[in-house]
Structure 1
Amino acid sequence: MKAVVLAGFGGLDRLVFKEIPKPEPVEGTVVIKVMAFGVNHAEMHMRRGEWAEAAEVSGIECVGVVDACPGGEFQVGTKVAALMGGLGRTINGSYAAYTRAPASNVAAIESELSWAELAAIPETYATAWTCLFRNLEISRGQTLVLRGATSSFGLAALNMAVNAGAKVIATTRSKERAGKLEALGAERVEIEGTDLSQRILERRELDAVLDLVGNSTLLDSLAMVRRGGRVCLAGWLGGLAPIAEFNPLLQMPSGVHFSFFGSFVFGTPGFPLSDVPLGEIAADVAAGRYQAKPSRVFHFEEIREAHRVMEANEANEANEANGKMVVVID
């Protein structure tokens, strides 16, 4: 089968097309004919050798059709989504015509949406849903600050939080992007910065913060919420550098709940993928309640271009991505 393999770590030229064996069916796994997959920052970091693990074939998520399932968890021909469970990290991922994922990391996602539209959902919306409704326990009428809202993850979280009746204050690095966030239902848009807690009117009154910027803004996020409020760290748009110094005794506000969520736990006993209502999310997308259309769609042969756009967006050199990018396999 055709696949994109990592020929070592480095630049775009490290993504190389190669014929490799199709994965064999194994008990407890699902062989999936890949129809499309989302492009994620994690795969860029893996390509550059900045991640702890990287498989020969990258790609942490996909949508497609069940080709084989020895354990009987899914019928052959079922439309499914797969994410994490080692995909692209410890086992070959979705940058291929076929992939093999643990059955615990596969979910049925029957829908009339196109493959490109479905590919924009799994990793982004499963993670956003878990952060909002499990870690932050967001409910109607609460006020949420969403840091890094113009990322694909941020846009998904904004869609969901607004639809759940929360008041969302969204942040972005560029005021030119404010209109898009307001169109999706943000009550207000603030310019992102490490001093946001000093500028925001609702300081110490906020119910929750979903921080996708990362370590550089975490202490600032903790300073914003009320007693009993919640902060969830779930992204590193500001880079992977650790916090230089964090002393909970001096810097952690009393009575504030802080949690972390990384999607790599999906499929483990405490975080079954079946907990996430992917089918309902797809239905909400189809009904227009979530504006989750992919921002750009690439063909399989254009994988290097997809990574180039993602890198330029990360460096703030251009805003060519403008949301979730996906790749379709013709």
Structure 2
Amino acid sequence: MEAIVVENFGGPDALIIKDVPTPEPKDGYAVIQVKAFGVNRAEMYMRRGEWAEAMPIIGIECVGLVVACPSGEFAPGTPVAAVMGGLGRTINGSYAQYTRAPVSTVVALGDDAAAALPWTQLAAIPESYCTAWTCLFGNLELKAGQTLLIRGATSALGKAAINLAVQAGAKVSATTRKQERFDSLRKLGVKEVLLEAPELSARLEGRKFDAVLELVGNSTLVDSLKLVHRGGRLCLAGFLGGLAPVPEFNPLLQMASGVHFSFFGSFHFGTPEFPLSDVPLHSIVRMVAEKKFGAEPARVFKFEEIGDAHRAMEASEANGKMVVCVD
């Protein structure tokens, strides 16, 4: 099979297409013919050698058809999504024509919903929507009528969170660094769009939210803690601002009393604590198929254009989910 391989850590040119052995069936795993896969910032860090773990074939998610599943959880031909579970980190990932994923991280998409959507649109859903759903309804315990602030909202994860939160009846505020993106966020149902800045709490002059989804990351985390009222919740789930640690964080002085702070990383999917079965992915795909909200990819690339996709990601030009069409 053909695969996109990282032979040496570096820039987008480090992604090389090579012929490699097709993965063999193995008990407890599903071999998947990859139809399309999403492109994620975690893979940019893996390609650079800045992630804690990375395999020669990176890629943390995909959609496609089951070729073989010796343990019997999925019949051959079943349309599925595979998300995390070591993909790209401890086992070869989805940047390939075929991948082998643990069955604990594989979810059937449903023949009806999958048939209604092209593979490239299906590929825009798994990692972003599984993560957004877990952050919103797991960590943040979001409910209808509550106020939610999403920092870094024009990212793929941010837009997925907007769609799910609006669908759930929350009142969503969102930030972006570019004023020209305000209208696109309002069209998604955002009630208030704010220009992202390090000292957002000072500009909002004491306003508080029921929940904050922090996707900019460590650089704005301390500021976000000031934006949650007593009993409210903050979830850190993204690092759009880079992987540098939180500068001089002293919880005794900077942690707001009575505020619940948590972190979620999608690399936990497939573990006993975070089974993918908790996420109603089939229902989310059905909602997209029924046009309750849009989940179209921002950009679609061919397999041989993977370097261009990574260059666009590094330049922050995606403005949403980018996907690669394999088939």
TM-score for the superposition, normalised by structure 2: 0.97
Shift, 1:202, TM fit: 5.9
Please tell me whether residue 161 in structure 1 is matched to residue 158 in structure 2: no
Separation in structure 1 between the aligned mates of residue 147 and residue 247 of structure 2, nearest angstrom? 29
What secondary structure sits across from 1:259 in the alignment?
strand
Separation in structure 1 between the aligned mates of residue 25 and residue 90 of structure 2, nearest angstrom? 17
* Aligned counterpart, 1:210: 213
Return the letter of the residue paired with 2:308.
Answer: E
* Aligned counterpart, 1:325: 322
Shift, 1:49, TM fit: 0.9
Return the letter of the residue paired with 1:40.
Answer: N
* Aligned counterpart, 1:95: 95
* Aligned counterpart, 2:175: 171
Q: Which of 244, 247, 250 matches 1:241?
A: 244
Aligned in 2, Cα 1:202/1:187: closer, same or farther, shift over 3 Å?
A: farther
* Aligned counterpart, 1:251: 254
Please tell me whether residue 181 in structure 1 is matched to residue 177 in structure 2: no
Separation in structure 2 between the aligned mates of residue 173 and residue 12 of structure 1, nearest angstrom? 24
Separation in structure 1 between the aligned mates of residue 171 and residue 117 of structure 2, nearest angstrom? 29
Aligned length: 323
Return the letter of the residue paired with 1:329.
Answer: V
Separation in structure 1 between the aligned mates of residue 136 and residue 175 of structure 2, nearest angstrom? 16
Separation in structure 1 between the aligned mates of residue 285 and residue 132 of structure 2, nearest angstrom? 14
Please tell me whether residue 310 in structure 1 is matched to residue 313 in structure 2: yes
Separation in structure 2 between the aligned mates of residue 226 and residue 83 of structure 1, nearest angstrom? 34
What secondary structure sits across from 1:87 in the alignment?
coil
What secondary structure sits across from 1:124 in the alignment?
helix
Separation in structure 1 between the aligned mates of residue 201 and residue 172 of structure 2, nearest angstrom? 15
* Aligned counterpart, 1:26: 26
TM-score for the superposition, normalised by structure 1: 0.96
> Which runs of structure 2 are paired with 1:61-72 in the superposition (5 Å)?
61-72=61-72
Return the letter of the residue paired with 2:321.
Answer: K
RMSD: 0.9
Segments of structure 2 that go 5 or more residues without pairing to the other structure are none
Separation in structure 2 between the aligned mates of residue 195 and residue 241 of structure 1, nearest angstrom? 18
Separation in structure 2 between the aligned mates of residue 297 and residue 307 of structure 1, nearest angstrom? 12
* Aligned counterpart, 2:266: 263
Is this contact kept in 1: 2:104–2:275, CA < 8 A?
Answer: yes
Separation in structure 2 between the aligned mates of residue 55 and residue 139 of structure 1, nearest angstrom? 39
Separation in structure 2 between the aligned mates of residue 253 and residue 311 of structure 1, nearest angstrom? 34
Return the letter of the residue paired with 1:295.
Answer: A
Shift, 1:244, TM fit: 2.0
Return the letter of the residue paired with 2:326.
Answer: I
> Which runs of structure 2 are paired with 1:134-149 in the superposition (5 Å)?
134-149=138-153
Please tell me whether residue 151 in structure 1 is matched to residue 155 in structure 2: yes
Give percent identity, aligned residues only.
Answer: 66
* Aligned counterpart, 1:42: 42
Separation in structure 2 between the aligned mates of residue 275 and residue 76 of structure 1, nearest angstrom? 24
* Aligned counterpart, 2:107: 107
Question: What is the CA deviation profile of residues 155-195 of structure 1, one whole-angstrom value per residue up to 9, with x for unaligned ones?
Answer: 11011111111111100001111000011011111111111
Shift, 1:201, TM fit: 5.2
Please tell me whether residue 223 in structure 1 is matched to residue 250 in structure 2: no
* Aligned counterpart, 2:13: 13
